[in-house]
Amino acid sequence: MEKVSNIVPYYIKQLKDIAQEREIISWAYISIDFLLGYNRSECIINSDKEITIDVSDRINQIIGDLKANIPIQYIIGEAEFFGLKFKVNEHTLIPRLETEELVQWILEHEFTSLLDIGTGSGCISIAVKKNKNVEILAIDVSGPALLMAKENARINEVDINFLVQDILTTDSLMRVDVIISNPPYVLEKEKDLMLNNVLDNEPHSALFVSNENPLLFYKKIAELAYLSLSKNGLLFFEINENFGVEIVELLKCIGFVDIELKKDINEKDRMLKAIKN
């Protein structure tokens, strides 16, 4: 592997037994961008450039980690979300594609203030702030996750207020126009259906709720939101695809109106919006 043009074929040769070619090629280009700063077209322009021993060593380390089932985002410590770069580590979830769809939906509305509950890497708040000049408070129970979120706000040059706060022991929230939450929503019993690279690497406190109380976060957040949202304020949730109907019922009981359940790109019930009238 002496030249830039050899990197992608080298990844394919080394990793063909553990993933499909499309995914391997994507890992290779993410690595090249991270190590050399070249996007796909710059790879073509620089295809004859020699790579240093250092870069070649790093490539072999990355390939070793991929073989050990570590997601590329954790290996390089970076993920892309809504066209922006985010730092991630063992305390933060890797931002998901379906969450981008939720951000897109939020941005279609007019508002001046937003509260993000369970912000993790800060991806939702930062993507909203980058595209709309609104006041944002983002909270999370995890101090280490919030450190990463603050760093991501700095890198993406946006001003957001962050606070360590446990929503489950919170009595009231500040008045805002929009509340958004992507809380933990995978049931413990759904662990068996998950890929090992998620189970072994992503923070379980960000993912799982007990089988006995799957709507724990939704109930608590919706009750607090109903009391604190401004008139016609909006509540957005990302949800477990199996609980759409139950969460709609819950929100109706609390008093929300015009509840809209929306599917993600994979045709799964994944997000909803409710209005406080």
Ligand X SMILES: C[S@@+](CC[C@H](N)C(=O)[O-])C[C@H]1O[C@@H](n2cnc3c(N)ncnc32)[C@H](O)[C@@H]1O
Please identify, among the stretches 34-42, 47-55, 136-144, 250-258, the one whose residues bind ligand X according to the rule CB under 6 A: 136-144
Nearest to 11 by CA among 57, 48, 21: 21
Sheet (strand 176-181) strand order: 161-164, 135-140, 113-117, 176-181, 229-238, 269-275, 257-263
Q: Does 244 bind ligand X (CB under 6 A)?
A: no
Q: How is residue 233 written in tokens?
A: 């304020």
- Residue 244, Cα to own-chain centre: how many angstroms? 20
Cβ closer to ligand X: 86 or 111? 86
Cβ closer to ligand X: 24 or 221? 221
Cβ closer to ligand X: 118 or 233? 118
Q: Does 141 bind ligand X (CB under 6 A)?
A: yes
Q: Does 66 bind ligand X (CB under 6 A)?
A: no
Taking CB under 6 A as the criterion, the residue among 120, 214, 233, 244 binding ligand X is 120
Q: Please tell me whether residue 158 adopts helix, strand or coil conformation.
A: coil
Q: Please tell me whether residue 105 adopts helix, strand or coil conformation.
A: helix
Please identify, among the stretches 36-44, 46-54, 141-149, 253-261, the one whose residues bind ligand X according to the rule CB under 6 A: 141-149
Could you tell me which residues come within 8 angstroms of residue 265 by beta carbon, excluding any fewer than 6 positions away? 97, 98, 101
Nearest to 161 by CA among 137, 143, 135, 188: 137
Q: Does 145 bind ligand X (CB under 6 A)?
A: yes
Cβ closer to ligand X: 66 or 206? 206
Taking CB under 6 A as the criterion, the residue among 31, 119, 152, 156 binding ligand X is 119
Name the residues that contact ligand X, by CB under 6 A: 93, 95, 99, 118-121, 123-124, 139-142, 145, 166-168, 182-184, 205-206
